[in-house]
């Protein structure tokens, strides 16, 4: 079968496809696995109950239910929900937004597809631009969304080690170069895969660099403030008209509704909405319907702060304690767990590639993510560190996490 370049690009093996294929099979029960690889949020009983209650009330109002499932929304998304998001952010941070500053997408992945290809790739009149990732490792889903080759410019971090076998990546501003080849800068905060939270100082420096070079700063806030607030260290959420803030309902507990949220200047929102109209006609309506009252009332902020954040903070600490116990005697480091739902493990001098460790663990029924997928744009041989790391999710139930960590430690000790 002869395929276009577009089809070839999206039919090749990719990290995000591997992740979602493994996740889907595990969630569907096609194979018995210990799922530590995917980004599926935990089913937190109190949060699930809120959404079940809202769904029931939708069912009890036939006209509203029929509208939600039977009518297209605008390409920009449901007007009431757009206004609710703007109002929530204004109450929390005083930003002065309106619904015209917000657009919905079919999940965050669709948002990044639109935004990255708005600012990078080939330009009319010749020339091309790239997305600058100030600090790798970065989110696996960025890797293949570009419609052009050589889509990213990636900056290696500095590494700070601590005595408790933890470490932290920091942006290496001495090596961070922005020139005319850069169309936008993008960071995730908290960072997927590492759980790193860029400091307020790092964010302020990136804001200044973006402004000085007249390029937008895209902040992937899928795990951040004000919801789902899976962030365990001090951090301030910021927005200016040069920042594009991306949020999501997924990690709040609604990944199946595929609802991404973009907060930006009105001219940017118009382009995102236009792309929505062409690619998907309109965003889906169920997620906004289930979350609307929570956002309007501010309950979404309370539940994130008092239920979701403590839930994950406790699970992270239990998993870290287990890792220290099971990996004793091995040279390992755990990235400081500052947010998100993952732990990032570094095994200096790992005798095999991260892909081979993934394969061995998969044979034993444990799914993790090999680390090399999280370094888009870096040459495979340029930095051995990228082959020495793996990402594990700790959002599964404690029994699965405990058994998975035990098997990871066994396999790693065999290798050493």
pLDDT at 351: 96
Query: Whole-structure pTM over 0.85, yes or no?
Result: yes
Q: Are strands 128-133 and 182-188 parallel, antiparallel or unpaired?
A: parallel
pLDDT at 287: 96
pLDDT at 12: 67
The fold of 5-47+302-415 is 3.90.1150
List, for the chain, all residue ranges whose pLDDT scores fall below the cut of 70. 12-31, 380
Q: Do domains 5-47+302-415 and 74-299 have the same CATH topology?
A: no
pLDDT at 376: 87
pLDDT at 22: 67
Query: Yes or no: is domain 74-299 CATH 2.60.40.1220?
Result: no
Domain boundaries, the chain: 5-47+302-415, 74-299
pLDDT at 374: 94
pLDDT at 18: 63
């Amino acid at each position: 079968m002869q395929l276009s370049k577009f089809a070839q690009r999206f039919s090749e093996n990719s990290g995000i496809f591997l992740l979602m294929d493994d996740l889907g099979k595990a969630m569907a029960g096609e194979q018995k696995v210990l799922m530590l690889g995917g980004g599926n949020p935990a089913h937190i009983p109190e949060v699930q109950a809120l959404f079940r209650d809202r769904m029931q009330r939708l069912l009890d109002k036939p006209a509203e239910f029929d509208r939600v499932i039977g009518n297209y929304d605008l390409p920009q998304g449901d007007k009431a929900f757009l206004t609710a998001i703007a109002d929530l952010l204004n109450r929390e941070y005083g930003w002065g937004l309106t619904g015209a500053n917000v657009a919905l997408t079919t999940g965050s992945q669709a948002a990044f597809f639109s935004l990255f290809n708005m600012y990078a790739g080939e330009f009319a009149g010749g020339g091309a631009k790239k997305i600058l990732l100030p600090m790798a490792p970065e989110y696996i889903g960025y890797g293949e969304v570009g419609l052009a080759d050589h889509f990213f410019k990636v900056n290696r971090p500095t590494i700070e080690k601590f005595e408790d076998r933890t470490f932290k990546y920091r942006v290496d501003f001495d090596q961070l170069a922005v020139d005319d080849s850069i169309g936008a800068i993008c960071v995730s905060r908290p960072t997927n895969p590492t759980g790193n939270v860029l400091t307020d100082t790092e964010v302020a420096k990136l804001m200044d660099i973006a402004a000085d070079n007249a390029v937008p700063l895209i902040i992937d806030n899928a795990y951040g403030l004000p919801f789902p607030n899976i962030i365990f260290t001090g951090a301030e959420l910021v927005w200016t008209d040069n920042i594009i803030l991306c949020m999501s309902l997924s990690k709040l507990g609604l990944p199946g509704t595929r609802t991404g949220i973009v907060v930006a200047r009105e001219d940017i929102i118009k382009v995102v909405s236009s792309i929505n109209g062409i690619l998907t006609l309109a965003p889906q309506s169920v997620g906004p319907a289930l979350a609307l009252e929570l956002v309007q009332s501010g309950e979404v902020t309370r539940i994130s702060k008092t239920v979701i954040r403590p839930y994950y903070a406790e699970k992270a600490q239990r998993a870290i304690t287990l890792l220290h116990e099971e990996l004793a005697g091995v040279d390992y480091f755990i990235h400081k767990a500052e947010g998100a739902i993952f732990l990032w493990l570094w095994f200096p001098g790992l005798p095999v590639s991260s892909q081979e460790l993934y394969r061995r663990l998969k044979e034993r029924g444990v799914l993790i993510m090999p680390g090399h997928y999280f370094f888009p744009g870096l040459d495979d041989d340029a930095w051995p560190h990228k082959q020495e790391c793996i990402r594990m999710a700790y959002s599964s139930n404690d029994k699965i996490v405990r058994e998975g960590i035990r098997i990871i430690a066994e396999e790693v000790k065999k290798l050493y």
